[in-house]
Amino acid sequence: MRDEGDPLWVLNEYRAAEVHGAGAIMRMGRLADSAELGSNLTRHLRDEAVHAWLWTKAIENLGGEIVEVDLPYQARLGVHYGIPGSLTELLALTWVSERRGVTEYNEHLDTLDVTPAIQKTLRAILRDEEWHVSYIEEELLRRMRRDGGVQGVIDRAMAADDLAMADLRGGEAA
Ligand SMILES: [Fe+2]
Ligand SMILES: [Fe+2]
């Protein structure tokens, strides 16, 4: 039953997003073209798997069930960007999506009805998410110095992110 106001629904969305993230990072890990990126992506994969587990446990502790949920942001991002054709494109898409995750978790932390247990989980996860954003940003900057085309890829990912968010906000207003 879709009820977006239900805290368990929100936790299921978080869980699904972390599981999705883990899958995407695992696939990207095979494309790593330096030992440093390979190591960072492996640590990143570990983090996303831990996050998926933390939300699964939070749902269980609340007596909830795991349910299949849509990932509307990821779907809209894919529609607007298209299929990424290179590691740089995957990194740029991951970077915008990780930034969205940080914003969403911070917004949840700022709500008045957040319970201490959820607060603790959000804070722990946010520490990792902030690292994800920063190491990918550094990697993109490194690539940008070598290849003038990287800025265009980042711009396209940011534009797709804006359009995806506009779609979601439009859907909410409807
Ligand atoms: Fe995560
Ligand atoms: Fe992340």
> How far does residue 126's CA lie from ligand 2's centre (Å)?
8
Cα of 172 vs centre of ligand 2, distance in Å, is: 25
Dist. CA 22–CA 93, nearest whole Å: 14
> Three-class SS of residue 21?
helix
Domains of the chain: residue spans and CATH: 7-173 (1.20.1260.10)
Question: Ligand 2: distance of its center to the CA of 55 in Å?
Answer: 13
69: alpha, beta or left, given left = phi > 0 and alpha = psi -120 to 50?
beta
Tokens of 6: 């239900």
For 5, the enclosing helix (H) or strand (E) is: none
Q: Provide the residue-wise pLDDT of the chain in tens; the chain has 174 residues.
A: 556 678 899 999 999 999 999 999 999 999 999 999 999 999 999 999 999 999 999 999 999 999 999 999 999 999 999 999 999 999 999 999 999 999 999 999 999 889 999 999 999 999 999 999 999 999 999 999 999 999 999 999 999 999 999 999 998 654
What is the number of the ligand closest to the CA of 100?
2
Cα of 144 from ligand 2 centre, angstroms: 22
Question: Ligand 1 mean position to 142 CA, how many Å?
Answer: 23
Q: Indicate the pTM of the whole model.
A: 0.94
Report the C-alpha dihedral over residues 33, 37, 39, 41, rounded to 10 degrees.
-110
